[in-house]
Chain A
Amino acid sequence: MSELLRRYGPGLTLIFVLLTAFWLLMLVILPNITLFEASFRPYLPVTEIGGPRDVYSLNNYAKFLNNAVPASYFGIDVQIPVHLKTFLATVTYSGVVTIVCFLLSYPLAYYLAKVVNPKSLPTLILLLSIPLWVSEALRAFAWYIILTFNGPLNAVLVGLGVLEAPVRWQNGVMTPYDGIMIGLTYTYVLFMLFPIYGAIQSLDRNQIEAAEDLGARWWQIHWRVVLPHSRPGIASGCVMVFMLSAGSLLVPTVLPSTSSNWFTETIRQWMLESQDWNTGAAYSFLYILLCSVVVMVVMWLFRVKLNEIAK
């Protein structure tokens, strides 16, 4: 603060402070507080707002547990609230996306950080980040085109003789969420790559050589030296990819199958289709809370501390 004053004088400093305060208060805190407050009030016709029925309750949150539908987990058939089912699917497949991103990123990050000639590194990083220049929507639609029944993927695979007949990729080959997972992986993989690259980059090459010199095989070097060192990077990459995937609205709407449901779509339906912003807000907060719980539990399982991620 005193540094700001010294550099820019009182006038400019005041403007900086006011702008920051405006941004925080008006654009971040106020809307969220408004939504948070609204989430506890019932959805009422305009005439009844402020009337006797407009009281605070947890009813909007409780809707999450309505409407049991049949589902099957690990071969066991159960009755489960439909929105809970959507939530579980979203979290599960976001988790799968996170794992796939990690499996793709780790070897690539290691290669970039420790194997590749440092001279060609800037070019490679530039090439890798080209997809980031294209808007997320365009990328998702590109995959829509690639995956369509008459699209290039089928054409190539059938042409090469890998497939006998074209496949309906968008209906999902393994799960109804295949298309969404492909889209999310493609969209968010760099958010995994860069933190892991940064972490491995900071590992002293002598550590790797020392391990090898002491007799470690390549996988032991990774398991005992490189992976532990890059844990903070892996953790922040995983949290980012998971939260971004779980919060993505665009990819699930562009690349859905007939039976896929992403939780963000449920929230959107409440807000835009039912015009019930109160329940939509309740679902949003519940969603953030539950996703955070999932992240915390996983972090606890892997004994990762918050301050490690912040590094």
Chain B
Amino acid sequence: MGAGIELEDVICDFGSFRAVDRVNVTVKEGEFFSFLGPSGCGKTTILRMISGFTDPTGGVIRIGGKDMKGTRPNQRPTALIFQNLALFPLMSVADNIAFGLSVRGVDKSKCRTRADELLKLVDLPGAGDKLVSQLSGGQKQRVAIARALAVEPAVMLLDEPLSALDLKLRQHMRAELRSIQKRTGVTFIYITHDQGEALAMSDRVGVMSHGQLQQVADPREIYNQPTNGFVASFVGENNIFAGKLGAVSNGIAAFSTPHGQFRARLADGVARDETLKLYVRPEYTILSPDPGAENSLPVRVTEVSFEGNFISVHAISDSGANVAAEIRNDGAVTVPAVGATLHATFAAESAALLPDETRA
């Protein structure tokens, strides 16, 4: 069964460089939690601190309510799946999986039985006697998961485990990981820089930048109600307009930009200062021949690309603003021609005024 994890003001410094900066988050027991962020933002460092390979410079890490300070990795109820998997190449698949058991003194035949059970769980029955080098990428992945599950960890820590796989396999393994997590009830902490992966798999996502946690929420909230500009633009695409805040009523604010007057949502907690920008996603941006009642911008189409399920259109306004729009392909849609002059419009409710990322 899983265990909860609390990170309290966790800091990690490498020399004068702060890799992880006062991270506070509570992961519930049995939860699938992802850390999402660009390369170098400190994701791996957080994982290494939870598993015990790196000592935090400050703050407290609790697993199952117990402070982990001074507890060696081999004493923690965590199992880490490395980015490169780190399977033992000189051992058979079964010996790899049973490694954690055999170092605990479990006898050979029991180890083998358990390894075979786990191979069944990860959908690789009968592969026990193979060598690691004889497996495909996806199969190695499963062996790594089985090896980690063998020690019955309360927490599984996964460091971008799918990044080396091709697209099809990655999508398949996403579902697989998710179902293994549901079946075993183990807490999963998953690291990725792929937003699609994080949104599709997780119960909750923590978005990171420069060592700081920007927002923690469930995937829908992360996508629909990002709390700042970094989260909005890291997770999904946006049309962004800088401007000045005007009058606010009923959560909708007037916003004047060099490209015109707009109206957009302004969430309650947002500080009303000059760092605010307007963010609206391409799929909420409509291109039509007629100007709308509000939030309307005359544009000229510069680029049209057919993506299959949608059509991506890039346009530029007379005032020089780049606007992207996505049109869903329902089979009967009219594709705008390059050079056509249209009006880009969006509903005030689908646009948000957000501050820049929080930097302490």
Interface residues of A (CB under 8 A from B): 204, 206-207, 209-217, 220, 224-225, 228-229
Contacts and interface: CB of A to CB of B under 8 A. Distances in A.
A214 B90 contact: no
Interface in B49-97: 51, 53, 72-74, 78-80, 82, 84, 86-88, 90
A200 to B, nearest CB: 14
Given A215-B74, A220-B103, 18 more contacts: A206-B84, A206-B86, A207-B88, A209-B53, A209-B82, A210-B80, A210-B87, A212-B72, A212-B73, A213-B80, A214-B99, A214-B147, A214-B150, A215-B100, A215-B151, A217-B74, A224-B103, A228-B90
Contacts of A210: 80, 82, 86-88
A111 to B, nearest CB: 19
B86 A207 contact: yes
Contacts of A215: 74, 100, 103-104, 151
Contacts of B79: 213-214
10 nearest A-B residue pairs (beta carbon): A214-B100, A206-B86, A210-B86, A216-B103, A206-B82, A215-B74, A213-B80, A220-B103, A212-B73, A228-B90
Given A204-B84, A206-B84, A207-B88, A213 B103 contact: no
B318 to A, nearest CB: 55
Contacts of B104: 215
Contacts of A207: 86, 88
A157 B80 CA distance: 51
Query: Which of A206, A207, A213, A225 counts the most chain B CB atoms within 10 A?
Result: A213
Nearest to B150: A214
Interface residues of B, number: 22
Contacts of A211: 88, 99, 103
Nearest to B87: A210
Contacts of B53: 209, 212-213
A212 B104 CA distance: 12
Contacts of A206: 82, 84, 86
Interface in B76-131: 78-80, 82, 84, 86-88, 90, 99-100, 103-104
Nearest to A229: B90
Nearest to A208: B86
A229 B79 CA distance: 23
Interface string B146-169: 011011000000000000000000
Mostly, the A contact residues are helix
Contact of B74 (A216, A224, A229): A216
A176 B88 CA distance: 45
A214 B103 contact: yes
B5 to A, nearest CB: 16
A216 B73 CA distance: 9
A211 B90 CA distance: 13
Nearest to B53: A209
A225 B88 contact: yes
Given A209-B53, A213-B73, A204 B103 contact: no
Given A204-B84, A204-B86, A225-B88, A217 B51 contact: no
Nearest to A218: B74
A207 B86 CA distance: 5
Interface in B288-317: none
Contacts of A209: 53, 73, 80, 82, 86
11 contacts: A210-B80, A210-B86, A212-B53, A213-B51, A213-B79, A214-B150, A215-B100, A215-B103, A216-B74, A216-B99, A228-B90
B330 to A, nearest CB: 48
Contacts of B87: 210
Contacts of B103: 211, 214-217, 220, 224
Given A209-B53, A220-B103, A214 B86 contact: no
B89 to A, nearest CB: 8
Contacts of B84: 204, 206
A224 B86 contact: no
Contacts of B99: 211, 214, 216, 224
Nearest to A205: B86
Nearest to A207: B86
A265 to B, nearest CB: 42
B82 A214 contact: no
Contacts of A214: 74, 79, 99-100, 103, 147-148, 150-151
A210 B96 CA distance: 11
Nearest to B90: A228
A213 B88 contact: no
Contacts of A228: 90
Query: Which of A210, A211, A225, A229 counts the most chain B CB atoms within 10 A?
Result: A210
Contacts of B78: 213
A220 B103 CA distance: 7
